[in-house]
Chains A and B, each alone.
Chain A
Amino acid sequence: MRLSTSSPRPDSNSIHCSKDRQWPRHLAVAASCALLLCLWQLGAVLVDARIILPGPGTVLASLVGLISAPPFSLNVGMTVARALESFLIIVVSGTLLGLLAGFFPVFQAAMSPLLTVLKATPVMSVILLAFIWFSSGTVPIFSAFLMGFPIMFIQIAQSVAGMDPALEQMCRIYGFSPSLRLRHYVLPSLLPALVTGARLTLSMVWKVVVAAEVLTVPRHGIGSRLQMAQVNLETSDVLAWTLVAVLLTALGDLFFDVLLVTGRRLALFRARRTVPSRRGE
C-alpha cells in the first residue's frame, strides 16, 4: 500500500491563509464608516439646526452626558434584562418545539397556522395588543417572544428535517447506540442551526424590546428614554440612545462571532487530540 506523499502533519495554516485575504475587507469597512460620519457631519452643517440633525460631535457629547448621569446603567440594565429574558425563553422553547416539529411532521403541520400568523403580524399590532393585556414591563418581553420565536423554531425544525439521511443510515448499519447517535450525529448536525437561530433571534429581540419600550414607556429602559427625549425634542439624546441600542446589538453579534471562532478552534483542537498517543510522533 502506497502512502500518500503529502505531509502527514495536520496543517493549521489554513486559518491564517483565509485571514490574510481579509484585510482589504476591513479597510473597506473602515473607509465606509468614515464616509458615513463625514456625510452625517456635512448634513448637520448644511441643515444647521440642532433640533433636526445634530452633528456627530454633539451626539457624542450627549452620549457622554447620558453615560455619566446616574440612571444610565439602570436604563440599559432593564432593557438588557428584558431582552435576555425573552431571548432565553425563545432559545429554550424554540429549540424544544423545533425538535418536535422536525421529528414529527404532524406536529409541524399543527404549528404552521400559528407560525404563519406570527410571521405576518406587524410588530406594532403585537405590542399594542400586549399593552392591553399586560403591564408595561412585561410587554417588551412578551412581544419580543412572539416576534423572535418563529425564527428559532423554523431554524431548528428545518435543520432537523435537513439532517443527512445517508449518515443516519451509516449509524444504523454500524450499530451506533442511541447515545452515540445523539452525541456524534444528531447534536453536531443541529449545532449550526442552533447558533444561527440564536443569533438571528437576539438581533430581532433587541429591536422589538426597544420598540415596545417606546410605546409602553416602562419606568426604566432605553426605549422609555428614547420616547422622553423625542417628546422633549432633545434630538441629540434620541440619537445617543439609538447609538446605545446599536452598540448593544453589535455586542451581541460580536459575542456570536467569538463563539463561532472558538467553537471552530475547539472542534479542530478536539479532532487533533482524540488520537491515542501510543504510536509515536
Chain B
Amino acid sequence: MRITHLTKSYYSADAGACVPVFHDFSLSIPVQSIMVITGPSGCGKTTLLHLVAGLTAPDSGSIVREPSETGAVSYLFQEPRLLPWRNVFTNVELPLRTSMPDKGERDAKVLRFLSLVGLSGYEAYLPSELSGGMRQRVAIARAFAYPSKLILLDEPFQSLDVKLRHELLQAFLSLWGEERRTTLYVTHDIPEAVLAADHVCRLDGPPATVADQFPIPIPRMNRVPGSPALSQFEARLYDGLTRPGMAQGAQGSST
C-alpha cells in the first residue's frame, strides 16, 4: 500500500483555523506485513487509520492499495465495540452475513475463530458478562473472521494489564500468521511494537512526519521480550519517543 502526498486538515476551534494533520505525507507499507506506527499523542496516528479505512477522505493525495489488498477492512478499536444486546457468537457472525450467505459455512467459521481466540463455550454470553480481555478477544475474532484484505489496529490492548496484553498480542500474531494480511498497527507500547512489527514507523507532528523508519529483520517466532537482539530496537524507539523538543524538531527527516 502506498500513501503519497497525503494532505488532511481539521478545523480546530481552539486555534480558530484549519490545522494540518498531514501535509504532503508519504509512506509505503509492504504487502502482507505488519507496520507498527508509533509516535506522540495527537500526531495523527488515528487519523491515518481513519484515512486508510475510508472513514474520512483526504483533502488531497492518494492512498493506493495493491490488488491483493483491495476489499474490506478490519478495524480493532481501542475498545471492543461489541453490540451489547447481542451475544458473542452473533457479534462475530453479523459482519459475515453479506459475504457468506451459506449459514452452515458461516457458523463453522465463526466457531473456528472463537475457538482460536480461546472463547469456545462462551458463544452464548452477552458482552456484559465477559471480562474486558475476553471482550477484546471477541473483537479480535471478529476482525479475523471478517474477510478483509487489510487490518488496522488502534492501540487495541492499551487498557489491559501486561499479562492480558501479552496473551492477546500472541493470539493476534498467531491468527495473523495463518493468513497474512497487510496490517497497520498503532501502539504506544515499545515492547509490543518490536514484538509485532515487520517494520516500525515513528511519526512526529502535527503535521505528521516520518521521524524514523526501520525493519526488524528477526523472524517473529525467535523474538524474545527483553532479549539483546530486540532491545537495540527498543532503545532506538525509546530514544526517539522521549528526546526533548522532538515534536518541533523533526521536520527535516520527513518522507
Q: With A172-B55, A274-B90 given, is the CB distance from A167 to B124 under 8 Å? A: no
- Taking CB atoms, residues of chain A closer than 8 Å to B107 are 276, 278
Our pick among B75, B108, B123, B146 for the contact of A275 (Cβ within 8 Å) is B123
Q: In the docked arrangement, what's the CA distance between A9 and B121, Å?
A: 7
- Taking CB atoms, residues of chain A closer than 8 Å to B125 are 10, 271
Q: With A175-B98, A275-B124 given, is the CB distance from A2 to B167 under 8 Å? A: yes
- Taking CB atoms, residues of chain A closer than 8 Å to B122 are 8
- Taking CB atoms, residues of chain A closer than 8 Å to B171 are 1
Nearest residue in A to B75 (C-beta to C-beta)?
A: A173
Q: In the docked arrangement, what's the CA distance between A279 and B112, Å?
A: 10
- Taking CB atoms, residues of chain A closer than 8 Å to B126 are 268, 271
Judging by beta carbons under 8 Å apart, are B86 and A173 in contact? no
Contact of B3 with A by CB under 8 A: no
Judging by beta carbons under 8 Å apart, are B83 and A175 in contact? no
Nearest residue in B to A1 (C-beta to C-beta)?
A: B118
Contact of A185 with B by CB under 8 A: yes
- Taking CB atoms, residues of chain B closer than 8 Å to A169 are 55, 77, 81
- Taking CB atoms, residues of chain B closer than 8 Å to A265 are none
Judging by beta carbons under 8 Å apart, are B117 and A174 in contact? no
Instruction: Looking at the assembled complex, report how far the CB atom of B52 sits from the nearest CB atom of chain A, in whole angstroms.
Output: 11
Contact of B111 with A by CB under 8 A: yes
Contact of B4 with A by CB under 8 A: no
A interface bracket (residues with beta carbon within 8 Å of B)? 20 to 34
Contact of B215 with A by CB under 8 A: no
Our pick among B55, B87, B95, B118 for the contact of A272 (Cβ within 8 Å) is B87
Interface string of A112-129 (1 = CB under 8 A from B): 000000000000000000
- Taking CB atoms, residues of chain A closer than 8 Å to B118 are 1-4
Interface string of B60-84 (1 = CB under 8 A from A): 0000000000001111010101010
Contact of B116 with A by CB under 8 A: yes
Q: In the docked arrangement, what's the CA distance between A275 and B81, Å?
A: 20
Contact of B34 with A by CB under 8 A: no
Contact of A109 with B by CB under 8 A: no
- Taking CB atoms, residues of chain A closer than 8 Å to B85 are 184, 188, 267
Q: With A2-B118, A267-B85, A274-B87 given, is the CB distance from A174 to B79 under 8 Å? A: no
Contact of B142 with A by CB under 8 A: yes
Q: In the docked arrangement, what's the CA distance between A196 and B153, Å?
A: 38
- Taking CB atoms, residues of chain B closer than 8 Å to A8 are 120-122
Nearest residue in A to B72 (C-beta to C-beta)?
A: A175
Instruction: Looking at the assembled complex, report how far the CB atom of A177 sits from the nearest CB atom of chain B, in whole angstroms.
Output: 6
Our pick among B55, B97, B111, B120 for the contact of A173 (Cβ within 8 Å) is B55
Judging by beta carbons under 8 Å apart, are A184 and B134 in contact? no
Our pick among B95, B170, B174 for the contact of A176 (Cβ within 8 Å) is B95
Our pick among B55, B79, B94, B142 for the contact of A184 (Cβ within 8 Å) is B94
Q: In the docked arrangement, what's the CA distance between A9 and B97, Å?
A: 27
- Taking CB atoms, residues of chain A closer than 8 Å to B53 are 173
Q: With A166-B81, A278-B107 given, is the CB distance from A174 to B55 under 8 Å? A: no
For chain A, residues 177 to 209, give those with C-beta under 8 angstroms from any C-beta of chain B: 177, 180, 184-185, 188
Nearest residue in A to B50 (C-beta to C-beta)?
A: A169
- Taking CB atoms, residues of chain A closer than 8 Å to B81 are 166-167, 169-170
Instruction: Looking at the assembled complex, report how far the CB atom of B55 sits from the nearest CB atom of chain A, in whole angstroms.
Output: 7
Judging by beta carbons under 8 Å apart, are B129 and A177 in contact? no
- Taking CB atoms, residues of chain B closer than 8 Å to A9 are 121
For chain B, residues 2 to 45, give those with C-beta under 8 angstroms from any C-beta of chain A: none
For chain B, residues 194 to 250, give those with C-beta under 8 angstroms from any C-beta of chain A: none
Nearest residue in A to B127 (C-beta to C-beta)?
A: A271
Q: With A1-B117, A276-B111 given, is the CB distance from A174 to B142 under 8 Å? A: yes
Contact of B144 with A by CB under 8 A: no
Judging by beta carbons under 8 Å apart, are B95 and A174 in contact? yes
Contact of B89 with A by CB under 8 A: yes
For chain A, residues 259 to 281, give those with C-beta under 8 angstroms from any C-beta of chain B: 267-268, 271-276, 278-279
For chain B, residues 145 to 191, give those with C-beta under 8 angstroms from any C-beta of chain A: 146, 167, 170-171, 174
- Taking CB atoms, residues of chain A closer than 8 Å to B111 are 276, 278-279
Q: With A167-B81, A271-B87 given, is the CB distance from A180 to B75 under 8 Å? A: no
Nearest residue in B to A267 (C-beta to C-beta)?
A: B85
Q: In the docked arrangement, what's the CA distance between A267 and B121, Å?
A: 19
Q: In the docked arrangement, what's the CA distance between A261 and B122, Å?
A: 24
Cross-chain pairs A/B with CB under 8 angstroms, 15 sampled? A1-B116, A1-B118, A8-B121, A10-B125, A10-B129, A173-B55, A175-B98, A175-B99, A177-B98, A180-B97, A184-B85, A184-B86, A271-B87, A275-B124, A278-B108
Chain A interface residues toward B at CB < 8 A:
1-4, 8-11, 166-167, 169-170, 172-177, 180, 184-185, 188, 267-268, 271-276, 278-279
Known: A10-B129, A184-B85, A276-B89. 10 other contacts (CB 8 A): A8-B121, A9-B121, A169-B81, A170-B75, A176-B95, A184-B83, A188-B85, A267-B85, A279-B111, A279-B123
